[in-house]
Amino acid sequence: MDKTSSTLAMTAPTVWQAVSGDITASTDWGRNARIHIAGGLGIAPEATLTIGSGSVILVDPGVGVSVEGCIIVQGTVENPVIFTCQDRNAPWGGFLLETGSSQGEFTGAIFTGSGADPDWFGNNPDHGHSHRHEQPLLYVSN
């Protein structure tokens, strides 16, 4: 089996667009975006968030993304979309898709450094249970 590795080089200065709060209308972050999710992010039922290839999404510690609408990640093998944390010792949360209107389409995406809550299922008993206790990267229910 061939293993391929690649390196993402961030050239200084990188300009990050800070976002948080609710996305209530369809939004396209485009290709090669540099997005800093600085606080809880929600995608409303009538909204779609589209993220283009080559984008890097930097997420603050403990921050999650609640999807009641739709998220579409359009990465490729050559230009993936990367979701990562600022500090490997302080992970971000994850994605919550909990309503009948929640949709997620993830293509060519790399996720690192999620799972902030080490006892997520214990702290959220209405979300069921798992043999694992930490916060999941993707929690899907209806």
The per-residue pLDDT for range 32-82, each reduced to its tens digit, is 999 999 999 999 999 999 999 999 999 999 999 999 999 999 999 999 999
Taking the C-alpha atoms of residue 141 and residue 118, their distance in angstroms, rounded to an integer, is 20
What is the pLDDT confidence band of residue 14, given thresholds at 50, 70 and 90?
Answer: confident
The span from the first CA to the last CA of the chain, in angstroms, equals 38
Taking the C-alpha atoms of residue 104 and residue 33, their distance in angstroms, rounded to an integer, is 19
Taking the C-alpha atoms of residue 53 and residue 140, their distance in angstroms, rounded to an integer, is 24
Interacting residues of 20 by C-beta distance below 8 A, sequence separation 6+ = 37, 38, 39, 40, 41, 63
SS3 122: helix
Taking the C-alpha atoms of residue 89 and residue 6, their distance in angstroms, rounded to an integer, is 23
pTM for the structure as a whole = 0.87
Residue tagged 């690192």 (tokens): 112
